[in-house]
Amino acid sequence: MSHLGRPDGQPSEKFSLKPVAEELEKLLELKSGDVLFLNDCVGDQVEKTVAEQSGGILTTSIPI
């Protein structure tokens, strides 16, 4: 679980975890797309994607 920030309560590309997913692929010597990045962390579409995905998944920041 991670949260990089959400200034003024609004999403910001600067604080996206997408680059983390890309770096994980490099560090683990995986091919592009093996670590799936989702722009949301809750909801029916996220649940469906998680159920269908066989590789790693990283979701958008989870504010706690």
Q: Nearest Cα to 15, choosing from 62, 47, 50?
A: 62
Domain count, the chain: 1
Q: What is the rounded average pLDDT for all residues in the chain?
A: 82
Inside any domain, residue 33: yes
- Return all residues near 61 (Cβ < 8 A) that are at least 6 apart: 2, 3, 4, 5, 6, 15, 16, 17, 41
CA 11/CA 9 separation, integer angstroms: 7
Whether 6 is covered by a domain: the verdict is no
Q: pTM here?
A: 0.70
How far is CA 12 from its chain centroid?
A: 14
**Rounded mean pLDDT of 15-26?**
88
Asked whether residue 7 is domain-assigned, the answer is: no
Q: Confidence band (pLDDT; 50, 70, 90) for 1?
A: low
Report the pLDDT averaged over residues 10-19.
82
Is residue 23 assigned to a domain? yes
The answer to the question of residue 54 being in a domain is yes
| Domain span including residue 54 | 15-59
Is 5 within the bounds of a domain? no
42 in any annotated domain: yes
Query: Does residue 35 fall inside a structural domain?
Result: yes
Q: What is the DSSP letter of 18?
A: H
pLDDT at 48 over 90: yes
